[in-house]
Amino acid sequence: MTTDVSQRFLARDNVYLPHIAVIEKIIDETPGVVTLHFNFKDEKLREEFTFKPGQFGEYSVFGIGEATFCISSSPTRRDHLEFAVQRVGKVTNALHRLDVGSEMGFRGPYGNGFPLDSFAGKNLVFVAGGIGLAPLRSLIWNVIDDRDKYEKIDIVYGARSPADLCFKYDLDAWGNDSSINMVTTVDKGDASWTGREGFVPQVLEQAAPSARNAVAIVCGPPIMIRFTFPVLEKLGFTPEQMFTTLEKRMKCGIGKCGRCNIGNLYVCRDGPVFSFAQIKGFISSEY
Amino acid sequence: MADSKRINKEDTGRLLDEWSKEFSVSVPSRENGMPAMLPWDGKDTSFLEWYRNTVIPPKANFFPPYEKMFDFQKGAEGYHLELPPSDKQKQLIFGIRPCDARALTILDTVFQDTYQDPYYLSRRANTVLVGLGCTNPYDSCFCTSLGISPGESTDVDLMFTDTGDGFFIEPVSDKGRELLAATGGLEDGLEADEARAKDVKEAAYRKITRRIDTGDIQQRLAACFENQDYWEKVAAKCVSCGICTFLCPTCYCFDINDELSQDEGTRFRSWDSCSFPIYTRMPMENPRQEKWRRVRQKVCHKYWFYPVNLDITACTGCGRCIRLCPVNWDITQTLNNLPASS
């Protein structure tokens, strides 16, 4: 396998040509979100394909178009790949209409992914909101499958309501894992909700994970991210200890089509994972 | 002058004829209304009279406004994807201006950066550029501020200079040298031609009077990046039509979309523009919804971000964005009036 990123997993030497993939399973996460499990049709690629947590792909519904999603499964679990889709536009609606057995296109993996090697030996604090858990669950499962390499794990996850909680099967599994400190919260509960209520940043502040030898990985709606960073700073995290993954409108995924830049950085090519130190150094607030 | 050749102007058609045996030859043409580099019809050389520069930049010959990326078809075995046949036909573009040839050198950098863009790069590899020095630049031209001389080019394979009755022909690249050696019917260049060509080049250089101040341009843009008042002022009359970007020889932004009829269709790409709010729009937010942010992006991308990433300024001073703008927006004014701070 070549180490040259630009040559990896190319279909017929053309970086814009997708691989054909088949939907193997569909999980309804919330009324607007599904997780799709898929595998490549090409068996060789199925065996060789690797990626890093935090990397993304360009997914095609032929005749409708392409859209960008992170790979939400862990590279340590090779049986199939997963991604989660919120129904918001043309392509995401078309993805929601796919059935098990349907074919779609996939290009990738693109982007930098999380700096997993630098997380070894550290306490990990995961903070996520809504479908923002998708890129983090790739990382969390990777870490769990390599549990000895990491110290304490804290997860704070929230959604607007109990119905908006994604990946409930993961939340259960992590809640039952004695090596993980799992906190789930909703902004507002319903009649049957017995768990925690409160916004993610506040719940994080109450959980108060130590910044000592720790990194925090944050993903969620922009408003949640904006309120979470100050809380982490208050807990003693430095900007170098905080990471997030940014979302931008993308088309090519490989730094050519132009639209996902923040100054001279392209979220597709230089990101999508950035430390808060990097974000503070961005020349503009256009993120 | 070693290697150089000369040809009388009335023999230009014969020369293009000879090249047409090996190449698909494109020349300046008004066939579609807007001057562009289009396939030569085998007879018409009247462009030698009217041609100053094309409206559609030659980037369109390598990166067309609309381009098929692949076809898809759904059959019993699932989807089949078909790439367009790779175009093995060798191309020759006759008459490209030094600014537009530089623009291709600039575009090469982004289309080769990490991931190879197969469509653009295969056309580039198949093409010979024959430059034609300017003798009558527009007053919107400012190429000399970008280190380009209107009469000279290192970005072409062969360079033609108008010496009045004829052309003085100089090879620039190995590709050009080979072509020139293989081309019959050309006389050797004379010292008098070379001297005349030198005068013509110098005269053209002197005709470019519009200037931008490129000194410390990145630092000066950085200094006023957050000066919203300034960017709002320079963006005020912009109508966000995107003409300056579509007709810019170095703008390369594109969109990717599908066309479908029944179970088969085409994925294509088409020129896009940072002038349009939809270009960056996401379901919940848009980082460049406001016009001043988009104008700022365009200017800073060309003179700051692109050179930081790819070590070359993404402007050639061709002046199209000035002379073809419907509201007389002028990038040279924007750059020359940058406030010292935010």
Clarify whether residues A98 and A122 are in a common domain: no
Q: How far is CA A60 from CA A116, A257, B70, in A?
A: 28, 17, 13
Question: A199 in a domain, yes or no?
Answer: yes
B214, pLDDT greater than 50? yes
Residues of B in contact with A284 (CB under 8 A): 225-226
Clarify whether residues A131 and A16 are in a common domain: no
Clarify whether residues A152 and A47 are in a common domain: no
Per-residue confidence at B2, pLDDT binned at 50, 70, 90?
low
Inter-chain touch B116–A15, beta carbons under 8 Å: yes
Question: A272 in a domain, yes or no?
Answer: no
Per-residue confidence at B245, pLDDT binned at 50, 70, 90?
very high
Question: A228 in a domain, yes or no?
Answer: yes
Q: What is residue B276's predicted lDDT score, i.e. its pLDDT?
A: 96
Q: What is residue A183's predicted lDDT score, i.e. its pLDDT?
A: 97
- Its domain, for residue A188, covers 116-245
Q: What are the backbone angles phi and psi of residue B318, rounded to the nearest 5°?
A: -70, -20
Question: A46 in a domain, yes or no?
Answer: yes
How far is B282 from B259, CA to CA, in rounded Å?
Answer: 22
B209, pLDDT greater than 60? yes
Clarify whether residues A150 and A212 are in a common domain: yes
Per-residue confidence at A41, pLDDT binned at 50, 70, 90?
very high
B256, pLDDT greater than 80? yes
* CATH for A130: 3.40.50.80
Clarify whether residues A9 and A105 are in a common domain: yes
Per-residue confidence at B342, pLDDT binned at 50, 70, 90?
low
- B327: how many CB neighbours lie within 10 A of its CB? 11
Inter-chain touch B115–A284, beta carbons under 8 Å: no
Clarify whether residues A97 and A176 are in a common domain: no
Clarify whether residues A11 and A86 are in a common domain: yes
Of A92, A110, A128, the position where a domain reaches its end is: A110
Of residues A273, A285, A77, A45, the one with CA closest to residue A170: A77
Clarify whether residues A10 and A90 are in a common domain: yes
Task: Kindly state the tokens that stand for B39.
Answer: 């396939």
Predicted complex: ipTM over 0.90: yes
Closest CB to A256: pick one of B70, B111, B260: B111
Per-residue confidence at A1, pLDDT binned at 50, 70, 90?
very low
Residues B293, B294, B297, B299, Cα dihedral to 10°: -110
Q: What is residue B154's predicted lDDT score, i.e. its pLDDT?
A: 97
Per-residue confidence at B149, pLDDT binned at 50, 70, 90?
very high
Of residues A277, A228, A271, the one with CA closest to residue A113: A271
Clarify whether residues A120 and A64 are in a common domain: no
Per-residue confidence at B186, pLDDT binned at 50, 70, 90?
very high
- Interface check for B225 against chain A (CB to CB < 8 A): the answer is yes
Cβ within 8 Å of A, B 15-44: none
Range name among A8-12, B193-197, B219-223 with the lowest pLDDT average = A8-12
Sorted by where each begins, the domain ranges of chain B are 5-207, 217-336
* CATH for A80: 2.40.30.10
Contact B126, B93 (CB under 8 A): no
Question: A218 in a domain, yes or no?
Answer: yes
Residues with Cβ within 8 Å of residue A26, at least 6 apart in sequence = A34, A35, A36, A37, A98, A99, A100
Residues of B in contact with A64 (CB under 8 A): 258, 260
A286, pLDDT greater than 80? no
Range name among A115-119, B105-109, B318-322, B337-341 with the lowest pLDDT average = B337-341
Clarify whether residues A213 and A125 are in a common domain: yes
Task: Kindly state the tokens that stand for B7.
Answer: 């040809």
- Structurally, chain A folds into a number of domains equal to 2
State what percent of residues in chain B have pLDDT above 90: 93
Q: What's the rounded mean pLDDT across residues A50-54?
A: 97
pLDDT, tens digit (0-9, with 9 covering 90-100), for B5-25? 999 999 999 999 999 999 999
Clarify whether residues A198 and A184 are in a common domain: yes
